[in-house]
Amino acid sequence: MPLLGSGVLANWGGVTPEAEADYNAWHSLEHLPERLRVPGFRRGRRCQAVAGTDPRLAYFMAYEVEATPVLTSPPYLARLNDPTAWTRRILSAYVAPCRTVCTVLASRGLGVGGWLGTVQIAPSGAREAARALATGPWIDAAMAMPGIIGAHAVEGDETLGQQPTAEKRFRESRGEPDRTVAFALLIDGLDQATTAAALAMAAGMSEAAGAVTATLYRTQHVLTREDVA
């Protein structure tokens, strides 16, 4: 099964060390269920980076939605403007928030893997060239590797979803504004070694488009709309 919908809210970032345990509990017990009760949200996940990763990329969170308009819909904006006390506390501990509304360009797969590789692409030339590369041969190459069960490409919108909401105010309270990404590749794998190899391959093939940031994560929690119905 590929990504569940044509839109993805992709998030990278870190959290202050003293808030990390609280952050994980909040995301699993409150935030994921809250988001998946918003009409149009289909599936959410949280992944933690391997040891040695830049702490500004310590976590990756993704929310798959039916289409990108869900992420500017009145029910979703109502949630963004009415954060709980727990949400306010956690967002105030965010480090280097990166939050982008994305359109799915390509998606192949059979569910969610225990490991995830992400490649952020900042195009150095024409956006069209980067888009062609993101949807190009790397997908077939990754899916041909034993242990890889998903390969996805998304394109970010630098303006959509950047409304001045209450949550955004808390998220940026440490003086770091939300960053966005132009393109991202996502690779679901069954084990660390294979996922790391596929990630290196995809990152290498993406360098022709511009600067790349490749990060390896372990999937911590996955929740679907059916889980909270």
Nearest to 99 by CA among 9, 215, 222, 31: 9
pLDDT per residue over 67-99, tens digit each? 999 999 999 999 999 999 999 999 999 999 999
Q: Are the CB atoms for 218 and 136 separated by under 8 Å?
A: no
Q: Which pLDDT score is estimated for 106?
A: 98
Percent of the chain with pLDDT over 90: 95
pLDDT in tens, 180-206: 999 999 999 999 999 999 999 999 999
Q: Is 70 exceeded by the pLDDT of residue 1?
A: no
User: pTM, whole model, 2 decimals?
Assistant: 0.96
Confidence of residue 211 (pLDDT cuts 50, 70, 90): very high
Q: How far apart are CA 48 and CA 58, in angstroms?
A: 6
The set of residues, in sequence order, having a beta carbon less than 8 Å from that of 146 and lying 6+ positions away, is 194
Mean pLDDT of all residues in 91-113: 97
Q: Residue 163 above 90 pLDDT?
A: no
Give the Cα separation of 78 and 84 in Å (integer): 12
Which residues partner with 78 through β-bridges?
none
The identity of residue 207, as a single letter, is E
Is residue 161 very low, low, confident or very high in pLDDT (cuts 50, 70, 90)? confident
CATH of range 7-225; options 3.40.50.450, 3.90.1170.40, 3.30.70.100, 3.40.50.800: 3.30.70.100
* pLDDT band, residue 216 (cuts 50/70/90): very high
Band (162; pLDDT cuts 50, 70, 90):
confident
Question: Residue 116 corresponds to which tokens in the numbers above?
Answer: 């995830």
pLDDT band, very low/low/confident/very high, at 50 (cuts 50, 70, 90): very high
What is the per-residue pLDDT across 120-136, written as a single tens digit (0 to 9) for each? 999 998 899 999 999 99
CA 152 remoteness from chain centre: 11
Instruction: Give the pLDDT band of residue 160 (cuts 50, 70, 90).
Output: confident
DSSP state of 103: E
